[in-house]
């Protein structure tokens, strides 16, 4: 087996697709999809763990204290780090607020996933922020 094949296999962190997620009437959340596959891969309710579409079951990754950066939009930051059970995620997105509404668009960004062995996968993402 060549080193390229081994490297490709290591980077193939299995992500499925999240089903639609509930949102409380007074809550805002960020929903992200993989720009390549168009699958819904992450859901982040404000002040809650990031739900990631790992397979076979989704994973909840807790926000890392003090990791958030940028100006919050509807209670969510454009840059933040999360971790749980050795898996870490770094979110870095562009948020464009929609004045006069409780929503925002995320035209571009990345979600970087890192496994306990240090293998990283950078996923181009887009998404929305909406409030219930």
pLDDT tens digit sequence for 19-28? 999 999 999 9
Residues with Cβ within 8 Å of 93's Cβ and at least 6 positions away in sequence, in order, are 30, 32, 78, 79, 106, 108, 109, 110, 125, 127
Burial class (CB in 10 A: 0-12, 13-18, 19+), 41: buried
Reported pTM: 0.86
Q: What is the widest separation between alpha-carbon atoms in the chain?
A: 56
Return the domain boundaries, the chain.
3-131
Where is pLDDT greater, at 56 or 106? Answer: 106
pLDDT for res 60: 95
């Amino acid at each position: 087996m060549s080193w390229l094949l081994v490297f490709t296999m290591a980077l193939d962190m299995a992500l499925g697709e999240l089903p639609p997620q509930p949102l409380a009437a007074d809550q805002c959340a960020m929903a992200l999809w993989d720009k390549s596959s168009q699958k819904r891969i992450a859901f982040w309710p404000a002040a809650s763990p990031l739900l990631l579409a790992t397979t076979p079951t989704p994973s909840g990754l807790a926000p890392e204290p003090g990791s958030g950066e940028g100006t919050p939009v509807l209670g969510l930051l454009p840059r933040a780090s999360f971790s749980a059970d050795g898996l870490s995620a770094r979110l870095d997105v562009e948020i464009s607020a929609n004045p006069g509404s409780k929503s925002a668009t995320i035209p571009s960004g990345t979600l970087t996933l890192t496994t306990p062995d240090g293998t990283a996968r950078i996923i181009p993402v887009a998404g929305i922020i909406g409030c219930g």
